[in-house]
């Protein structure tokens, strides 16, 4: 079965960087986009960006341009999100997700990774 | 860019019907497909409607989606409301670069 398993919670100081991983299994990793979405405490969903694991093509939301980098390691079917210049308002749960639309439509989400930015 | 505006909350009794609206601020709601995500407390989101009105397999037919060009809005209707439907619901569409745009979310409470 398809699974996305994310890395554990992180606590970072302002100005630092964080890297969150998303291990994919149960499907062809290089065949589908991986999206990243974040949710601040008590707030709504915000799209961060997407990565196509086959060619490494990336696209970022304007509000994260210059601070976020999406990468992947196809040998271990893992996608990464790195966010730099952390601020307190980056405190959020970060989700990875993949949508498979091949006639049937299925969405799969990771369990979320809490990133806390605090001095 | 455009915004998607949803009511903050709706509530209804079990067995009743609720409808959640999602109004696009600029550009036509027809321009890009609308999806609806359900997020139960403490859980990851999951899509219950895609491409305006399609249901993924496994989603009960109590969930339906529609588009109204006259009001430039999308709607999610949940009929035969059940306690398990209590969740936050987000509409989502795409901008001209196919970036995801989310509504602010609607909390559905089953009384």
- 33-52 in B: which are within 8 Å (CB) of A? 37, 39, 44-47, 50-51
The tens digit of pLDDT for each residue in B2-31 reads: 999 999 999 999 999 999 999 999 999 999
Q: Residues of B with CB below 8 A from A59's CB?
A: 97-99
* B1 confidence band (pLDDT: 50, 70, 90): confident
Q: Residue written as tokens 């609806």?
A: B36
CB-nearest to A109 from B46, B57, B90 is B46
According to the model, what pLDDT value does residue B102 have? 98
Q: Mean of the pLDDT values across residues A18-39? A: 98
| Backbone dihedral region for residue A85 (phi beyond 0: left; psi -120 to 50: alpha; all else: beta) | left
Tens digit of pLDDT for each residue in A61-71? 999 999 999 99
Mean pLDDT of A7-31: 98
pLDDT of residue B47: 97
Two structure tokens written together for A1: 């079965």
What is the chain B residue with the closest CA to A108?
A: B46
Average the pLDDT over A25-31 and give the result. 97
What pLDDT, on a 0 to 100 scale, did the predictor assign at position B32?
Answer: 95
Q: Among B39, B56, B102, whose Cβ lies nearest the Cβ of A47?
A: B102
B79 Cα to chain A: minimum distance (Å): 22
- pLDDT, averaged across chain A: 97
Handedness of CA B59, B68, B35, B52 (dihedral sign): positive
CB-count burial class (<10 Å; 0-12, 13-18, 19+) for A117: buried
* Cα pseudo-dihedral B68, B104, B78, B28, rounded to 10: 10
- How many whole angstroms separate alpha carbon A53 and alpha carbon A45? 23
Strand partners, B100: B94
pLDDT(A77) > 90: yes
Answer whether B21's CB lies under 8 Å from B7's CB.
Answer: yes
Mean pLDDT of chain B: 97
Name residue, tokens 């960087």: A17
Q: What is the mean pLDDT of residues B73-89?
A: 98
**Tokens 């307190």 belong to residue:** A88
CA distance to partner chain B, nearest, from residue A56 (Å): 17
What's the CA dihedral at B105, A81, A88, A95 to 10 degrees? 30
For A90-119, the pLDDT digits (tens) are 999 999 999 999 888 999 999 999 999 999
CA separation for the pair A86, A114 (Å, rounded): 13
Stated as kind and residue range, the H or E segment containing A105 is: strand A104-109
B99 → closest Cβ in A47, A109, A111:
A47
Percent of chain A residues past pLDDT 70, beyond the cut = 100
Which pLDDT does position A104 carry in this prediction? Answer: 86
Q: Which residues contact A35 (CB under 8 A, 6 or more apart)?
A: A47, A48, A49, A50, A96, A97, A98, A99, B100
CB contact under 8 A, A47 and B90: no
Average pLDDT in the B57-65 region? 96
* pLDDT, position A102: 85
pLDDT at res. A47:
98
Is the pLDDT confidence value at B61 over 90?
yes
Structure tokens at A105: 């439509």
Measure the CA angle with vertex A27, ends A25 and A31; round to 5°: 120
* Residues paired with A59 in a beta bridge: A50
Give the tens place of pLDDT for each residue, A41-56.
999 999 999 999 999 9
């Amino acid at each position: 079965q398809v699974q996305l398993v994310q890395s554990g919670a992180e606590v970072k100081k302002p100005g630092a960087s964080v890297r969150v991983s998303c291990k994919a299994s149960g499907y062809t990793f290089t065949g589908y986009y991986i999206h990243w979405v974040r949710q601040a405490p008590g707030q709504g969903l915000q799209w961060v960006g997407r990565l196509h694991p086959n060619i490494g093509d990336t696209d970022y939301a304007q509000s994260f341009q210059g601070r976020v980098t999406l990468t992947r390691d196809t040998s271990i079917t893992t996608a990464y999100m790195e966010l730099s210049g952390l601020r307190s308002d980056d405190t959020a749960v970060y989700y990875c997700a993949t949508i498979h639309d091949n006639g049937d439509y299925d969405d799969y989400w990771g369990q979320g990774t809490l990133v806390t930015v605090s001095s | 860019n455009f915004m998607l505006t949803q009511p903050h909350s709706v509530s209804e009794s079990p067995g009743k019907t609720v409808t959640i609206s999602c109004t696009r601020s600029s550009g036509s709601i027809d321009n890009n497909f609308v999806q609806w995500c359900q997020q139960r407390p403490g859980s990851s989101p999951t899509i219950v409607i895609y491409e305006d009105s399609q249901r993924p397999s496994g989603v009960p037919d109590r969930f339906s989606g529609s588009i109204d060009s006259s009001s430039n809005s999308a709607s999610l209707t949940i009929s035969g409301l059940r306690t398990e439907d209590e969740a936050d619901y987000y509409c989502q569409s795409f901008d001209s670069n196919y970036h995801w745009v989310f509504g602010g979310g609607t909390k559905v409470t089953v009384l």
